[in-house]
Amino acid sequence: LLTRMHRTRKARGVVMFVDEDNLKRLLHTLDQLIKKGHKELERRFWFVASDSWGIKQSVVLGLEHLLAGSITIVPHVREEKAYITFFRKLSPTGYTFLEEYWDALGCGERDDLKYFGDCFDYIKYNLKQAGPHRCFECEYVRKYSRLYPTQAPFFQESYVPFVVDAVRVLARALSKYIADDCGQKEFRHCHLSRSRFQGDRLQKYYRNVSIIENEPPLIDANGDGIGRYDVFQLDSKGVYHKVGKWRSSKDSFEIEVQQVRRGLQLAPGDSPLSVCSTDCPRGHYRAYQDQTCCWTCIPCDTTTSIIINGTRCDMCPEGKVADVTQSFCVPIPPVSMRWDTAWALIPASFSLLGLTSTIFVVGVFLKFSNTPVIMASGRELCYCMIAGISMCYVLTFFLVSQPSIPTCAFTRVLMGLSMSAIYAAIITKTNRLARVFKPNGAQRPRFITPKAQVGICASIVSVQLAGSIVWLLVDPPGTKVVFPSRTEAVLTCKATASHLLVSLSYNLLLIIACTVYAFKTRKIPENFNETRHIGFTMYSTCILWLSFGPIYFATQNNFRIQVTSLCMCISLSGTVALVCFFAPKVYIVLFQPYKNVRTRQSAVGRLVNQQMRFMR
């Protein structure tokens, strides 16, 4: 037992609730281990003992140095004066135990001492004359004198008053019982002498009844004794000092904390720490070992799990995280793109710059609409492209806004419509040039007039628009909360990445077709080098979207990167068309006006140029 106690290094307090014989056996075994070389056991334990230890000298004799600081409790000692008077008149003659006690007091050698009162007076006289150090046979008298100086050298056993009280309580209860039933009759003439006392009725005469004036009852209404205990602490000299008391009737406990600290040799403010395991820090739960007071602290995720009764770690359901105290699961507040972050400011600023540039291009085209360069570029289709480019830039502001039904609806429509407007105009342009310059073409190509070209472009765009409208009707726009990780909730539009891919698949076909036509028309003669600009636009667009795809689908768990990359990709698509197709024309109109004139052309050139002019 002692070895197992020693293995638990942090546990120093030992509560002793054993009988006196086993108590002595344990303490003497501990003393023997120390003498055999186990010095680490010396002053290793702090004992807290029940009244079986109490303030007995027989328990601590010879072990005072080992047990100093021990805390014991004893029933509150009340001096029973009648018993003292009775005991002082007793003679030891004829009583075996009293004769042993008489000899232990050292009075057996005196023939002139007949009663215990005489013996006590004799001892008291010797103590006064020679000092307690001369009375070796009365060692216990010297120690008890410090506790109860008015009673020395006679000391009542602490349980004597309880025995007297028990007899007194029962006697008074029986007396009242008889008086209520028999009145003035003698008991032998009363019917109670021939019948039995009723236990349940007898209880009413001694429960919750005080037998001593100004003292609380000794037995409460439930039949339990009312406890009154005093707390003592043993010093290194074997003397017990009263350091506290407990009264169950007043539910009060008083203890001299500083005195106890001094007895335990603790610094002021320190507390006697005796634990098998210390409290677990925040974010840990207790995993018990073979003892209920010993445990190991196991980490518990402070963000996704809660601790139940400090002994279990439970994961919160999806969409919830642990609160600050890690006691409850609380819903995760959904987040979305914020305008005050770089994730929104950068694409929004880029789009605003693009819109400004687009407005500038529109202004140039309107101002110089009758010049050869502008007229030869096919103004109607150019305006269709500019409308698509503008929608690309506007779409950014819907994407970075907080998701709602209107913003989600506009996002669905504009995402496909913006690019289909650009690439429908480009494919119409390149298709017309490919048909006009088709080798071995004997007849004039059909549908190459400006009106026909606009009609073709509108029909191509209408397919995308019709698809977007059907999508809105079949799956109405809305918002939802997704959880890319266990600790994050994102408010987003009710559309998955696969829906986005389906929506953009039509534009992907247009991009492929535009690229093919741009390649086929790369060798158109004379000044029809607009196809070269279209080729640059489509090649750059292909590279851009091939780069965007992996980034978008590889960042499913980071909505900010997804939204920002999507905004930049769409805006860059419009920027590529704006720079590669319109910038050269604007540059010639503004900075090289000498090139913005009619030149001599071949017959084929004149024919095509006429067909490409805008109708006035």
272-320 pLDDT, tens digit per residue, is 777 777 788 888 888 887 666 778 889 988 888 888 888 889 998 988 9
**Fold assignment, 342-460+496-612:** Rhopdopsin 7-helix transmembrane proteins (1.20.1070)
d(CA 507, CA 424): 9
Q: What stretch of H or E contains 128?
A: helix 116-130
Q: Is the pLDDT of residue 149 over 60?
A: no
Q: Does pTM top 0.85 for this prediction? A: no
Closest CA to 332 of 530, 515, 486, 436: 486
Neighbours of 565 (CB within 10 A): 18
Angle, vertex CA 257, rays to CA 254 and CA 260, nearest 5:
115
Q: Is the pLDDT of residue 616 over 80?
A: no
Q: Give me the pLDDT at residue 8, please.
A: 67
Phi/psi for 330 (5° steps) reads -120, 150
Q: Among 70-74, 534-538, 566-570, which is the least confidently predicted range?
A: 534-538
Report which of 79, 136, 86 is spatially closest to residue 116, judged by C-alpha positions. 86
Confidence of residue 270 (pLDDT cuts 50, 70, 90): low
Could you tell me how far CA 319 lies from the centroid of its own chain?
15
Contact 179, 140 (CB under 8 A): no
Inform me whether the pLDDT recorded for 552 exceeds 80.
no
Please name the amino acid found at residue 381. L
- The three-state secondary structure class of 482 is strand
From 323, 299, 364, 386, select the one nearest 589 (Cα to Cα).
364
Count CB neighbours of 444 within 10 A.
10
Both tokens assigned to 368: 């110089």
* Bridge partners, 219 (sequence order): 225
Residue among 225, 227, 191, 193 nearest 208 (CA): 225
SS3 per-residue string spanning 10-50? CCCEEEECCCHHHHHHHHHHHHHHHHCCCHHHCCCCEEEEC
How many Å apart are CA 12 and CA 264, to the nearest integer?
12
Specify the DSSP element, H or E, that contains 456. Answer: helix 450-474
Name the nearest CA neighbour of 352 among 397, 406, 382.
Answer: 397
205: left (phi over 0), alpha (psi -120 to 50) or beta: alpha
Say yes or no: domain 2-76+227-263 is CATH 3.40.50.300: no
Tens of pLDDT, residue by residue over 175-221, are: 888 888 888 888 888 888 888 888 888 888 888 887 767 777 888 87
**pLDDT given for residue 32 in this prediction:** 84
298 forms beta bridges with 285
Tell me the C-alpha distance between 599 and 527, whole Å.
9
Mean pLDDT of 151-173: 78
412 close to 391: Cβ distance less than 8 angstroms: no
Tell me if 2-76+227-263 shares its fold with 342-460+496-612. no
Mean pLDDT is lowest, of 10-19, 121-130, 220-229, 564-573, for 121-130
Tell me which residue of 587, 392, 399, 594 sits closest to 507, measured CA to CA.
392
Distance CA 373, CA 383 (A): 15
Residue 169 CA: distances (Å) to CA of 219, 284, 458: 9, 55, 112
Q: What pLDDT is recorded for position 407? A: 92
Per-residue pLDDT, 7 = 65
Mean pLDDT of the chain: 80
Residue type, 592: Q
Contacts of 434 (CB under 8 A, 6+ apart): 517, 520, 521
Rg over CA atoms, the chain = 53
* Helices (H), ranges, 368-404: 372-376, 379-399
Residue 133 and residue 348: Cα distance in Å, rounded?
Answer: 99
- The residue type found at 191 is H
Per-residue pLDDT tens over the stretch 467-477: 888 888 888 88
Which of 456-470, 518-532, 560-574 is least confident? 518-532
* Residue 497, pLDDT score: 62
Q: Look at residue 397 in the predicted model and tell me its pLDDT.
A: 94
Distance CA 137, CA 105 (A): 7
Q: What is the pLDDT of residues 321-354, one digit of tens each?
A: 988 888 889 999 999 999 989 999 999 999 999 9
Summarised one tens digit per residue, pLDDT across range 415-433 is 889 888 988 888 888 777 7
- Strands 46-49, 13-16: pairing is parallel
Give the tens place of pLDDT for each residue, 440-467: 555 666 766 778 888 989 999 999 899 8
d(CA 385, CA 399): 21
Give the number of residues written for the chain: 616
Map tokens 């709602």 to a residue.
404
Task: Give the rounded percent of residues in the chain with a pLDDT score beyond 90.
Answer: 13
Judged by DSSP in three states, 279 sits in: coil
Domain ranges of the chain: 2-76+227-263, 81-147, 157-224, 284-331, 342-460+496-612
Ordered alpha helix ranges (H), 400-449 = 405-436
Confidence of residue 391 (pLDDT cuts 50, 70, 90): very high
Which of 92-106, 232-246, 539-553 is the least confident region? 539-553
Residue type, 243: V
Distance between CA 286 and CA 428 in Å, rounded? 73
